Structure 1
Amino acid sequence: MRIVAISSSPRHDGNSWTLAEAAAKGAREAGHEVETVHLSDFVDGMLDDCRRCRRSDGTCGIGDGYERLLMEHIVPADGLIIATPLHWYGITGRLKTFFDRLFCYTAGSSPVGEQVSAALPGKRVALMISCEESYRGATLAVETQLQELTRYLHQELVGVVVGIGNSRGEVESDPSRPLERAADLGRRLFEVRVTDYRLDTPRSNRIWGPQDATASWSESY
């Protein structure tokens, strides 16, 4: 499988990048093809008014590397490792811009809209967060935002790793061993079972092991 690890930190050697590298290492150990990218190498311009900056042929007029990142790296990928430091209890501004500008490439007025919209669903996503606060609530908004983004895109958020640290590389000293957990998640990116039940979802009474897809919801209680 092809995986892209995306670091959204303005620092190229920070803690979120360290987490992304650990997850990428685990994925490579599992035999997957992994590339790592820095958003700052591709994304400069923020989402603007498409009526003002979209070119006459429908292409995006923001002159940075966003389209190259999307079409050459994200679209062909089977899985994504997304890494962000906690900025004001949210994702980085550059990562938010990355998601904002998906609009320009999924809209019907885009010449690649159908291609991008068809390629985004089905990807498996792992989230890495570096944070200097051990308070559990500090990163919940980020986890919720990525959960809803992946659900909207029909992707699967398979796991979240939070590492505590501030100085460069300090996340390695976190006694909860986030680098080990990141590597393990990278190894199992395409193996983690993701469940999102509704009242009428057919499901087995087994969590692990062989699944009986014909079981009704009542048999799970």
Structure 2
Amino acid sequence: MLILIGSPRRDGNSAALAEAVRRGAEAAGTRTQVCFLDDCIARLLHDTRNPRESAAEDGYEELFLERFLPADGVVFCTPVYWYGMSAQTKAFLDRSFEYYVAGHPRHDEVLAGMQHKRIGLCVASEESYPGVTLGIVHQLQEFARYTHSSFVGVVHGVGNRRGEVADDPRNPVAAAEALGREFFARAYSDYRADSPRSTAVWAAAG
């Protein structure tokens, strides 16, 4: 499991949720890696159709090719900035285009590696109303569908001061830990009209 933190705060609410995911995952025997995205991203996506001298190299290529592509599951942890994901998180997704664009020499390998992952999301916001996270949830859901991946869980924690998400009475820290622990076991379904399926959602116990 790769856990990507899209906040620059090392002791912030997104980091607290990420740490809970890590604890849960490792308790279940899952190997984890945690990355603060601003340690690896120093520029945005450039126009790949008009090659130019790029900005200073950063750690994105190593993160994407050597850590993201081999991961079986990825959990994105982001604060809500202007009712969307953080710029670091968005840049991580945008810059993947540099590698799966048809003209890239590793296009086929990259496209194959991006697919069939399990995806999770932890969001921290100051506001508690449910709609505050919908834009982020929608974007990750569409990313998962585009890559034939399984979007297995969302945790929303509310807090403003650093670490205040732990005071949210809905207990998102425990929910994030459960997400990590159950990440590779949670059922996922996304039916179409012609999908073969049982009339029961859950298999009978026993």
Contact 1:147 1:157 in 2 (8 A): yes
Distance 1:104 1:28 in 2: 32
Are 2:118 and 1:111 aligned? no
**Aligned counterpart for 1:149 among listed residues 116, 129, 143:** 143
* Residue 49 of structure 2: aligned partner: 51
- Deviations 1:15-72, CA, capped at 9 Å, x for gaps: 01110110111010000000100000101111111133467xxxx8762111010111
**Aligned counterpart for 1:124 among listed residues 110, 118, 125:** 118
Residue type of the alignment partner of 1:16: S
- Deviations 1:103-124, CA, capped at 9 Å, x for gaps: 1100121122111101111110
Are 2:191 and 1:197 aligned? yes
RMSD: 1.4
Distance 1:95 1:115 in 2: 23
Partner of 1:192, secondary structure, is: coil
Distance 2:56 2:172 in 1: 37
Amino-acid identity (%): 44
Partner of 1:51, secondary structure, is: coil
TM-score (norm 2): 0.95
Contact 1:126 1:157 in 2 (8 A): yes
Distance 2:21 2:52 in 1: 37
**Aligned counterpart for 2:13 among listed residues 15, 29, 43:** 15
Contact 1:131 1:165 in 2 (8 A): yes
Contact 1:90 1:141 in 2 (8 A): yes
Distance 2:35 2:5 in 1: 6
Partner of 1:52, secondary structure, is: coil
* Rg (Cα) greater in structure: 1
* Residue 216 of structure 1: aligned partner: none
* Residue 215 of structure 1: aligned partner: none
Q: Following superposition of structure 1 onto structure 2, how do residues 162-173 of structure 1 map, counting pairs within 5 Å?
A: 162-173=156-167
Gaps of 5+ in 2: none
Contact 1:46 1:101 in 2 (8 A): yes
Partner of 1:166, secondary structure, is: coil
Task: Give the number of equivalent residue pairs.
Answer: 204
Structure-2 change in CA distance of 1:138 and 1:110 (3 Å): same
Distance 2:88 2:52 in 1: 20
RCO greater where, 1 or 2, for CA within 8 Å and sep 6 or more?
2
TM-score (norm 1): 0.89
Residue type of the alignment partner of 2:116: G
- Deviations 1:131-157, CA, capped at 9 Å, x for gaps: 000111111111111101111111111
Gaps of 5+ in 1: 211-221
Partner of 2:49, secondary structure, is: helix
